[in-house]
Amino acid sequence: MLGAVIVAIFGSLFAGTQMSDDAAWTPKLALDLEGGTQLILTAVTENNEPITSETITQAINVIRQRVDSSGVAEAEITSQGGRNIVVSLPGNPSEETIALVSKSAQMTFRPVLAIGAPQATSADGTTDGATAPPSDETAAPADGSTDGAPEATDGAAEEATPPSDTPSKPAPDSPSDVEYYVTPAVEAAFDSLDCTNPDNLIGGEVADPDKALATCDEDGTAKYLLGPVEIKGSDVSSATSGLRTTSTGATTNEWVVDIKFNSEGTKLFRETTTRLQGLAATPPQNQFAMVLDGLVISAPSLDAGVIISNGEAQISGTFNRESAATLANQLNFGALPLTFDLQSQEQISATLGTEQLQKGLIAGAIGLLLVVIYSLFQYRALGMVTVASLLIAGVVTYGVIAVLSWTQGYRLSLPGVAGLIVAIGITADSFIVYFERIRDELRDGRSLAPAVDRGWDRARRTILASDAVNFLAAVVLYFLAVGGVRGFAFTLGLTTLIDLLVVFFFTHPLMTLLARTRFFASGHRFSGLDPRRLGAAATRYVGRGKVVPGAASAPDADTLETPGSRVPVAAGVRSGAATMTIAERRAAERAAAQASGSEQTTRDEPEPGRGRDKPDGTTPPDASGERGSDTTEGTEH
């Protein structure tokens, strides 16, 4: 299973290196480790209006949204001087990426014609618009969107030719005229639009202002079919956020955004609201959308009966202080249409410095070596299992990162490397938890095979639970954070999954196999699973009517304390007799007998022929051989 995964990863990587130029055996590195390209953009306004630092901040946010959504890992975006924005992109960005970054961001107001769930609708579901005659619209099934709602009933010519971009009417009745604007081509574009795909959240498209537009909202949680541009962003004179004040002047607890239009905007907005009010019966057509950089930032509906004629609108809803401020900032930014002039484009070296990377790798190698030494020291031969598992995990991680950097444009940054280093600890911990559980079972007196089985049952729960928490952290941070945090979250999540993969499909099967080998099963002193060393200690019953003497009396345990010195050490430990098992009590009696020099007291053992009672503490096999009893019966430890 794991072998198949590894073969698949490296096979595809090999195929990739043979067939395309993008794939390579080494993962691509991010800006901090490899360097990249630095673009200096200067913000220019149309009519030389002053640029405030808030505007630049908004511009940086818009650019970051574009860069993050386009999959380029971890760009660094800063302001420089008053009106420059420095964008550093890793590697050699393509012409399209540079064009995307330097595109201007425009805000427009458009009426909403339809809202749909973010997923693409299948082609079958679109029949109501593309093939059914418009006059049948009332009967058409509404496939999650309301595009079938009749807005005007004037008969239109039947359309039989699928997706044509010609409007069915010579002229629109109004910007909300579904009949006119929703051509089959637009309809098809809307249906196939998938807002869960990050590629569609890049923004930056300049849409034809006179045509309908199918687009996503900026979070990718809904898609919109919008009418033509009615009001331009430059007609907004200001936007502010604050708590709503009632007509009596009292302040409520509700966060709102207030928009003020200039005179042109006031006139246009009055017309728009008047028309939208007439459409209150057919939601969502009484909504208008604010589109920034090609994406819907807000699409409020009009309160019933309200016609805004003074050019002062108020948006309320589920705002908190921050989201209200964000929307106000976005509106202000949109009100000041910026274009970006590309000043310079230059190669830059790794921001971290090559020395840091080199020394970091050396340090990582030293650290790994120490881990190997420590686990060999602690777990003896079992340490080799840890090392092998870590190696496998490392190989898989390397392969996955190389494949992802080829297919997804993923780049390894220093925070990513940090995630990997922490992963050493977390991955090794899974093995340590597992081994300790096996040892616990051995201490309980099980032989190795059942100990591995039971230890695995218990360790598996722990490993799953703790890895689930880690994975949760990675997923949440990946989807909610930006920039370097994402790179870190990605590697953390990846290594957590690989950890599970390796433990389940390598370490555990390997342990099960090893448990069958003589070296481990007999508890060789270098196996790390020596029951005597693990103090499977006290005399224990091993089945077949046999009792095995405890660690303390085992001959190779001469480094341990002698039986007599094994007194409980901690406070709160009650000495002896009351907690003894039958076997322990017998062993104690034996020891007492041994001390008194009598060899014949062993006669009262339940299994006198077994030789376990050999008073000088020799190992059972010798004893049974000496007595000449049935040697086909091996002994269990």
Q: Establish if 559 lies at the interface with other proteins (CB under 8 A).
A: yes
To which H or E segment does residue 223 belong? strand 223-226
Closer residue to other proteins, CB minimum distance, 6 or 60:
60
Closer residue to other proteins, CB minimum distance, 53 or 251:
53
In this structure, are residues 295 and 216 in contact, taking their beta carbons and an 8 Å threshold?
A: yes
What type of residue sits at position 113? Answer: L
- CB half-sphere exposure, 28, CA atoms < 13 A: 25
Residues 117 to 136 in contact with other proteins, rule: CB under 8 A: none
Q: Establish if 80 lies at the interface with other proteins (CB under 8 A).
A: yes
In this structure, are residues 400 and 502 in contact, taking their beta carbons and an 8 Å threshold?
A: no
The CA distance from 100 to 87, in Å, is 12
Give which of 114, 185, 184, 110 is closest to 144, Cα–Cα: 114
Closer residue to other proteins, CB minimum distance, 22 or 561:
561
Closer residue to other proteins, CB minimum distance, 276 or 414:
414
Closer residue to other proteins, CB minimum distance, 96 or 558:
558
Residues 412 to 431 in contact with other proteins, rule: CB under 8 A: 414-415, 418-419, 421-422, 424-426, 428-429
Q: Establish if 584 lies at the interface with other proteins (CB under 8 A).
A: no
Binding mask 338-367 for other proteins (x = CB under 8 A): --------xxxxxxxx-xx--xx-xxx-xx
Query: How many residues does the structure list for the chain?
Result: 637
Cα 571 to Cα 230, 325, 562, 574: the distances in Å are 83, 62, 21, 8
Strands 213-216 and 76-80: unpaired
Give which of 468, 492, 503 is closest to 390, Cα–Cα: 503
Residues 91 to 120 in contact with other proteins, rule: CB under 8 A: none
Binding mask 290-329 for other proteins (x = CB under 8 A): --------------------------------x-------
DSSP 504: I
In this structure, are residues 554 and 546 in contact, taking their beta carbons and an 8 Å threshold?
A: no
In this structure, are residues 455 and 440 in contact, taking their beta carbons and an 8 Å threshold?
A: yes
Closer residue to other proteins, CB minimum distance, 131 or 581:
581
Residues 505 to 524 in contact with other proteins, rule: CB under 8 A: none
Least Å from the CB of residue 475 to other proteins: 9
The CA distance from 593 to 203, in Å, is 89
Which of residues 139, 161, 320, 479 is near other proteins by CB under 8 A? 479
To which H or E segment does residue 494 belong? helix 484-502
DSSP three-state, residue 360? helix
Q: Establish if 569 lies at the interface with other proteins (CB under 8 A).
A: yes
Q: Which stretch binds other proteins (CB under 8 A): 298-306, 394-402, 483-491, 612-620?
A: 483-491
Closer residue to other proteins, CB minimum distance, 181 or 488:
488
Least Å from the CB of residue 336 to other proteins: 18
In this structure, are residues 190 and 200 in contact, taking their beta carbons and an 8 Å threshold?
A: no
Which of residues 48, 50, 571, 616 is near other proteins by CB under 8 A? 571
Least Å from the CB of residue 419 to other proteins: 7
Closer residue to other proteins, CB minimum distance, 165 or 561:
561
Which of residues 99, 449, 513, 595 is near other proteins by CB under 8 A? 449
Which of residues 99, 142, 481, 513 is near other proteins by CB under 8 A? 481
In this structure, are residues 584 and 549 in contact, taking their beta carbons and an 8 Å threshold?
A: no
Closer residue to other proteins, CB minimum distance, 10 or 504:
504
Residue spans of alpha helices (H) in 230-346 = 263-278, 321-335
Q: Establish if 480 lies at the interface with other proteins (CB under 8 A).
A: yes
Least Å from the CB of residue 485 to other proteins: 5
Backbone angles phi, psi at 93, to 5 degrees: -65, 150
Q: What is the phi-psi region of residue 164: left when phi exceeds 0, alpha when psi lies from -120 to 50, beta otherwise?
A: beta
Least Å from the CB of residue 550 to other proteins: 11
Q: Establish if 204 lies at the interface with other proteins (CB under 8 A).
A: no
In this structure, are residues 14 and 338 in contact, taking their beta carbons and an 8 Å threshold?
A: no
Closer residue to other proteins, CB minimum distance, 111 or 394:
394
Which of residues 140, 560, 580, 588 is near other proteins by CB under 8 A? 560
Least Å from the CB of residue 87 to other proteins: 10
Q: What is the phi-psi region of residue 356: left when phi exceeds 0, alpha when psi lies from -120 to 50, beta otherwise?
A: alpha
Q: Establish if 611 lies at the interface with other proteins (CB under 8 A).
A: no
